[in-house]
Amino acid sequence: MTTTTTPPTIEQAAQARAASGETRHLFLNMGPSHPAMHGIIQLIVELDGEQVRRADVEIGYLHRAFEKDAEAVPYNSVMPYTDRLNYVSPLINNFGFCHAVERLLDITPTERCQYIRVIMSEISRISDHLTCVGASAMEMGAFTVFLYMIKAREWLWELVEAVTGARLTISYGRVGGVKADLPEGFAPRTLKVLEDVRGVLIECDKLLTRNRIFVDRMQDTGVISKERAINYGITGPFLRGCGVALDVRKANPYFVYDRLQFDVPTGAHGDNYDRYLVRMEEMEQSMRLIEQALRQIPAGPLNVDFEGRVLPADLMVDEAKMGRVAGFQQVRVRLDPTLEGTTRGFHGAVNATEKRAVLPPKEDTYGNIEGLMHHFKLIMLGHGIRPPQGEFYSAVEGANGELGFYVVSDGSDRAYRVRCRPPCFTIMSALPELIVGELLSDIIPTFGSINMIGGELDR
C-alpha cells in the first residue's frame, strides 16, 4: 500500500526555509524599458520578498559624446550641444558654458545681459522643478498634480519661446552675450505668469504636502545623511534636503546674483519628503529673484542720437553725400527686415564690446567693410574666437546642483579639452545606498527625487 504526502504550501515552505536559515532571493531587472527609468537606466535588484537587499545601477544607454563634440567645433557652435545636457532647463547650460569661456577670455557681458541671464535661468529652474515634482507625483498616482504643474510649465515655456524663438532646444547663449534682447512687454507678461504659477503651486501644495498617501510614500524613504551626501559630492536640492545650505549662487556669486535677495531652503532629514519641500520653496525663491531682476534691469545704450532721430537708410546716404554727418555716430538707421536681421538695434545692450568674441550686428556686417571683416574673422574656418592658452573651471547653480565646465584652450578657435560636471551624476552614484534596505515600491519616489536627466548624466 502506497501513501501519498501532501506537498507543503508556499507559506509552509517559506516557514521551513526560515526555520532552517535558508533564504531565496529574487533577482529583478528594472529598466531600461521601465517607464520610471526614463528608458535609459537599468537597475538589477536582489529582492528578499519586497525588500531590496542589493542593487547594481547601469548607466550609459544615452552616451552623447558631448565633451568630444564640444572639442570639435568653434566655441559658439557648442550652444546646441549644451541645450541637450539638461534639456528641461537648457538656458542654464548655455550660460554656464558661456561663463567659462568668458572667464578664459577675461571679458564681462553688459549689465543688462547679466540680468537677462538671471531672469532666464530662474525661469528654467522653475520649469525643471515643476517637471521633477509633477512627474514624481504622477508616478505615485497623483495625476492631477502632474497636469497642473505641466500647465504651469507651459506658461513658462511660452515666455522662453517669446525671448529665444524656441521652447526647449533654445541655443540662446553667446560667448559675451545672448542672441536677442527681451521682447517688448516681457516684464508685465512675466509678472502675470508668475502670479498664475504661484496659484498652481498653492493648489498643488494643498493636494500633496499633507496628503497621507503621499507623505507615507515620501517620508523616511531614500534617506541619506549630510556626511554621506558630501562624501559623494552631491550638490543642489538633494544636498540641501540634508540640511546643507550650499548654493553656488550664494557661495560663489556670478552674473548679478550678489545684488539680489533670496533664501536657500534646506531640509533636516535628507529623505524624499524634504527634497520635495526644498524644490517647492526653491520655485518661490526663483520667482522672487525674477521679480527683483525685472525691477532692477538697466536699459541698454541709446539706439538713437541726442535728438531721438531714426533715419531711413536712403536719407542717411543722401546726407552723407552732402557732408552733413555731424551727430551721425549715434544715429540709428531704419533698415528693411532683410538687412536689419534679428539684431534690430539691441546688440549693444546685451553683448560685451569685445571684438575678439562677439559678432557685429547684422546691419554692420551688411553696411560697412569693418563690420564685414569683423564678421569674417569670427566665422571663417581657422579664425573664430581664440582665447589665450590656459584653462578655467566655472560653475553655475543648475536645477540639480553644481553644473561645472572645465575648458582648456590651446589658443585655437576651438577648445583643446572640455569637461562637464553634471550635477545628477554624483547623485546617481549614491542610488544603490539609497534603495538598499527599502521596499521595491520605494525605488520610484527615490529615483524621482534624484531628477535624473539622461542628457546630463550620460553626456
- At 170-198, the pLDDT tens digits run 999 988 888 888 888 999 999 999 999 99
pLDDT digits (tens, 9 = 90+) for 216-234: 999 999 999 999 999 999 9
Higher pLDDT, 108 or 382: 108
Per cent of the chain over pLDDT 90 is 53
SS3 string of 122-159? HHHHHHHHHHHHHHHHHHCCCHHHHHHHHHHHHHHHHH
Helix axes 272-296 and 186-208, enclosed angle (nearest 10): 160
What's residue 374's pLDDT? 81
Task: Return the amino acid letter for 74.
Answer: P
What's residue 342's pLDDT? 53
Is the confidence at residue 40, as pLDDT, over 80?
yes
pLDDT digits (tens, 9 = 90+) for 52-87: 988 889 988 888 899 999 999 999 899 999 999 998
150 pLDDT band (50/70/90 cuts)?
very high
pTM of the model: 0.85
Comparing CA positions, the residue from 23, 13, 43 lying closest to residue 31 is 43
Q: What is the mean pLDDT of residues 362-383?
A: 78
Task: Return the amino acid letter for 338.
Answer: T
What's residue 127's pLDDT? 96
Is the confidence at residue 19, as pLDDT, over 50?
yes
Distance of CA 350 to CAs 25, 231, 334, Å?
A: 61, 40, 20
Q: What is the mean pLDDT of residues 302-331?
A: 56
Is the confidence at residue 339, as pLDDT, over 60?
no
* Weakest mean pLDDT among 27-41, 309-323, 407-421: 309-323
Mean pLDDT of the chain: 86
Is the confidence at residue 344, as pLDDT, over 80?
no
Kindly list the strands in the beta sheet with 390-398, ordered across the sheet, starting from the edge strand earlier in the chain.
390-398, 401-409, 417-421
What's residue 301's pLDDT? 42
Per cent of the chain over pLDDT 70 is 86
Query: Which domains are present in the chain?
Result: 76-299+387-457 (1.10.645.10), 310-379 (no CATH)
308 pLDDT band (50/70/90 cuts)?
very low
Is the confidence at residue 306, as pLDDT, over 60?
no
Is the confidence at residue 311, as pLDDT, over 60?
no
CA 215 from chain centre, in angstroms, equals 28
